[in-house]
């Protein structure tokens, strides 16, 4: 199901023009960076990279997990669907899509959406280890000047889908990041108090590990702590480099 795209305010200001400052790699490559998400968590995470970007609401309805669905495939498909849904809105852009679901003993958990469902999710996860799947997609929209080379990433770039399609007008790359988490045993009153205080209704698993939700856990294990929050920045910078943009590009010589 498609919805009209809605623009949000640009997330970062103009790149600095002072001598000796790091260049804007997107400006030099005539690229515009687009985040296909209205999530404040993802916007805040992407802002950490110091690259100017703007956000668009994706014209894509996430597929909810059903019994027997593969959560890894589900999150990657949703992330790619979000990015592709705004391609027509941003010719010449490099578009980021992301999605996240939790899985516990074969059950897929998405955003609870309501306090009662959030409490039930927490009680379902309490005392058990679960996996949090983060799907990521980067799409180079038609009309975007191609970088000098978009070859398959090297073996150390683990997590990149090497079956990604590519041609002179459109290229996509995807990644999957899986984290292993364990919520400690909880009394129902604790779960209710947490939901009342932090309202994690738009978070898969019904917690915000970057906030008060950290008090719920016995452990969090994974390759990228930002993946738990909602946008895996380690994988994202890997994909951006594959498209010819390194956020740590050299500063110009004064």
Residues 6+ apart with CB under 8 A from 112: 118, 120, 121, 200, 201, 203, 206
Q: Cα–Cα distance between 222 and 102 in angstroms, integer? A: 14
Q: Cα–Cα distance between 117 and 7 in angstroms, integer? A: 30
- 152, HSE (Cβ side, Cα atoms, 13 Å): 10
Residues 22-42 as b/e (b if ≥16 CB within 10 A, e otherwise) read eebbbeebebbbbbbbebebb
Residues 6+ apart with CB under 8 A from 41: 210, 229, 230, 231
Strand partners, 101: 133
* Active site members: 99
Q: What is the β-pairing status of strands 217-221 and 171-183? A: antiparallel
Q: Cα–Cα distance between 233 and 141 in angstroms, integer? A: 21
Q: Cα–Cα distance between 91 and 59 in angstroms, integer? A: 16
Beta strands per DSSP E along the chain: 32-35, 54-55, 93-104, 107-109, 129-140, 171-183, 217-221
Helix (H/G/I), strand (E/B), else coil: 97 = strand
């Amino acid at each position: 199901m498609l919805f009209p795209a809605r623009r949000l305010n640009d997330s970062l200001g103009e790149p600095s023009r002072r001598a000796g400052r790091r260049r804007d790699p997107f400006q030099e490559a005539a690229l515009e960076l687009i985040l296909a998400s209205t999530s404040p968590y993802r916007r805040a995470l992407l802002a950490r990279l110091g690259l100017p970007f703007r956000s668009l609401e994706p014209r894509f309805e996430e597929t909810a997990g059903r019994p027997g669905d593969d959560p890894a495939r589900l999150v990657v498909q949703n992330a790619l669907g979000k990015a592709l849904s705004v391609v027509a809105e941003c010719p010449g852009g490099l578009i980021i899509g992301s999605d996240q679901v939790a899985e516990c003993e074969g059950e897929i958990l998405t955003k609870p959406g309501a306090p009662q469902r959030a409490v039930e999710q927490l009680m379902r996860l309490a005392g058990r280890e679960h996996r949090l799947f983060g799907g990521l997609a980067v799409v180079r929209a038609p009309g975007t000047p191609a970088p000098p080379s978009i070859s398959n990433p090297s073996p150390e770039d683990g997590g990149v889908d090497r079956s990604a399609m590519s041609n002179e007008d459109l290229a996509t790359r995807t990644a999957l990041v899986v984290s292993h988490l364990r919520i400690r045993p909880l009394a129902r009153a604790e779960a209710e108090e947490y939901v009342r205080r932090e309202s994690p209704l738009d978070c898969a698993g019904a917690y915000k590990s970057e906030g008060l939700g950290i008090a719920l856990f016995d452990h969090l294990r994974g390759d990228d702590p930002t993946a738990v929050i909602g946008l895996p920045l380690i994988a994202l910078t890997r994909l951006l480099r594959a498209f010819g943009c390194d956020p740590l590009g050299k500063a110009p010589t004064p």
